Amino acid sequence: MRIDHLLDLPSVSLSSGQTRRARIAAALLSKPVLLLLEDPMAGLDVGSREEVSKTLGDLNSQGDIRIALVQRGKSKGDVPEWITDICEVRAGNVWIGPRDEWEQRIHGDSKAERDDPPTGIMVESAEEPVVRLQDVSVSYGEGTRPVSPADWSGC
């Protein structure tokens, strides 16, 4: 993550991109089985974006950790190449499926739709949550706290 030169600096002197890289590195040090990151490339310069994406992709492909990215309002070009599956939530509707099928959906590639049967699923106006979280802790820079079900209401 190229942050070793920042280790002796006070955190207030770091840029937002340096802080973001440091937080991702700190999360990886705990060797989680699953890492959920919301817009991890936001605030990073192009070189750092490529480096962080490569690092996350390499870790994900090794299989010791699974990485899920939450990205809001992103298009095909904003999704790292190593992402294999997409869960898109739009206007209360949820679509889950392979990346190539998602790309066909957003770009309207009708030939591909005719040649390959769809494998993704669409859940319209789901009354039940798509994901339930249990025994989850959240870290925001300073410390970790457990999350209660009430914290996730409406998710």
Residue 21's H or E segment, with its range, is helix 16-29
d(CA 141, CA 144): 8
Look at residue 112 in the predicted model and tell me its pLDDT: 47
Residue spans of the domains in the chain: they are 1-77, 84-131
Residue range 1-77 in CATH 3.40.50.300: yes
Q: pLDDT averaged over consecutive 10-residue blocks of the chain (155 residues)?
A: 75 81 86 86 86 90 86 71 83 80 73 54 64 69 63 49
Look at residue 68 in the predicted model and tell me its pLDDT: 85
Helix or strand or coil: residue 10? coil
